[in-house]
């Protein structure tokens, strides 16, 4: 029995398994979008709770649900609407470029394995949202373009060009910081 059928048959019994399966993905997705582990935690948690409530009220008609992209979409919506806690606005790309390589502005408690990874995460989180979402879904979460079209509700062609443009912006933002690090 696949997961969606199991959810339809016994939501309460099957949902904890969904949390186990997707918690790393949804947390990571929220972390790479926000660049902040606390926001990511709240976003992922809230996404699961909303997903459960929606499933509960649509339990009879889950047959066509594509679970994975749908969970990403729920997480994305929670992220876009912002977690309840008030917080300073996300740094713009300019700030990210300016601050890249400055250890003091590293978001709280995101322990990255290397300095270059921390820097990449920081710059990524400062990318304009449209491109950030596309790049994260494609190259961090490694979703297919079909899945991405379901998450973002945009045509695949548009998404491909957003990913391409996002990568370009990232490279441009990273280059000067990298030179500085080598100097």
Partner 1 sequence: MTETELIRELSGLRDVQAPRSIRAGALLGAGLADAYFPLDAPIGRVYVAHGERGLSAVAYAASAKVFERTFRAETGRVAVRQDPSERLAQTLQEWLRGDRRHKLRFDLRALGEFRQAVLFKALEIPYGQTRPYSWIAREIGRPNAVRAVGTALARNPVPLFIPCHRVVRSDGRLGQYSLIGPEAKKVVLEAEGVQLDQLEELAQTGIRYFGSDTTRIFCFPTCRCNKSLTERHRVSFASESQARTAGYRPCKVCRPAAA
The site for partner 1 (CB under 8 A) is made up of 12-13, 15-16, 19-20, 23-24, 26-28, 31-32, 37, 41, 44-46, 48-49, 52-53, 113, 116-117, 120-121, 124, 135, 139-142, 167, 170-171, 174-175, 178
Judged by DSSP in three states, 106 sits in coil
Write down the least CB distance from residue 10 to partner 1, Å. 10
- CA distances to 3, 28, 54, 182 from 36, rounded to whole Å, are 31, 10, 27, 27
Within a 10 A sphere around the Cβ of 36, how many other Cβ atoms?
Answer: 20
Q: Which is nearer to partner 1, 17 or 157 (CB)?
A: 17
Name, in order, each residue with C-beta under 8 angstroms of 48's C-beta and a sequence gap of 6 or more: 18, 19, 23, 26
Q: Which is nearer to partner 1, 108 or 153 (CB)?
A: 108
Write down the least CB distance from residue 1 to partner 1, Å. 19
Write down the least CB distance from residue 154 to partner 1, Å. 20
Query: Dihedral sign, CA of 45, 52, 74, 28?
Result: positive
Write down the least CB distance from residue 146 to partner 1, Å. 19
The CB-side HSE value for 17 (13 A sphere, CA atoms) comes to 11
Q: Residue 60 in contact with residue 1, Cβ under 8 Å?
A: no
Nearest-5° Cα angle at 50, 21 to 55:
75
Write down the least CB distance from residue 82 to partner 1, Å. 17
Q: Which is nearer to partner 1, 96 or 174 (CB)?
A: 174
Q: Which is nearer to partner 1, 153 or 161 (CB)?
A: 161
Q: Which is nearer to partner 1, 45 or 153 (CB)?
A: 45
């Amino acid at each position: 029995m696949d997961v969606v059928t199991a959810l339809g048959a016994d939501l309460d019994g099957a949902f904890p398994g969904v949390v186990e399966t997707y918690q790393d993905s949804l947390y990571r997705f929220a972390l790479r979008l926000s660049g902040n582990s606390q926001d990511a935690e709240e976003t992922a948690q809230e996404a699961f709770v909303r997903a459960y409530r929606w499933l509960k009220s649509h339990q009879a008609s889950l047959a066509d649900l594509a679970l994975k992209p749908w969970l990403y979409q729920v997480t994305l919506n929670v992220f876009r609407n912002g977690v309840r806690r008030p917080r300073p606005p996300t740094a713009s790309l300019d700030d990210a470029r300016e601050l890249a390589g400055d250890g003091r502005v590293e978001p709280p408690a995101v322990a990255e394995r290397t300095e270059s990874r921390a820097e990449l995460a920081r710059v990524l989180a400062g990318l304009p949202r449209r491109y950030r979402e596309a790049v994260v879904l494609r190259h961090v979460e490694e979703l297919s373009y079909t899945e991405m079209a379901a998450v973002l509700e945009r045509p695949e062609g548009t998404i491909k060009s957003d990913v391409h443009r996002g990568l370009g912006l990232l490279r441009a933002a990273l280059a000067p910081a990298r030179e500085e690090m080598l100097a």
